[in-house]
């Protein structure tokens, strides 16, 4: 997998519980959690972004 497919993005979740569950299923660790805005900010592969959307109802806020 090339680094070009990994993007820095903000993923918005509906709850802290969803963030926690996503973190346990996602094999990525280059992100930080903003609990106040229910977001993860970091570098994610497209499949991680898709997992967040499909399984946890998350959406992309924007690209950083």
What confidence score (pLDDT) does residue 4 get? 57
pLDDT of the residue at 8: 85
Tens of pLDDT along the chain (64 residues) come to: 445 577 789 999 999 999 999 998 887 778 899 999 999 999 888 999 999 999 999 999 965 4
Q: What strand order describes the sheet that includes 39-44?
A: 31-34, 39-44, 7-12, 59-63
Helix, strand or coil, per DSSP, at residue 63? strand
Q: Which domains does the chain have, with CATH numbers?
A: 3-63 (3.30.70)
pLDDT of residue 7: 75
pLDDT at 27: 75
Residue 6, classified by CB atoms within 10 Å of its CB into exposed (0-12), middle (13-18) or buried (19+), is middle
């Amino acid at each position: 997998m090339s680094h070009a497919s990994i993007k820095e993005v903000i993923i918005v979740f509906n709850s802290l519980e969803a963030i926690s569950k996503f973190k346990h299923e996602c094999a990525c660790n280059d992100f930080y959690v903003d609990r106040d805005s229910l977001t993860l900010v970091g570098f994610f592969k497209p499949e991680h972004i898709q997992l967040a959307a499909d399984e946890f109802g998350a959406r992309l806020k924007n690209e950083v």
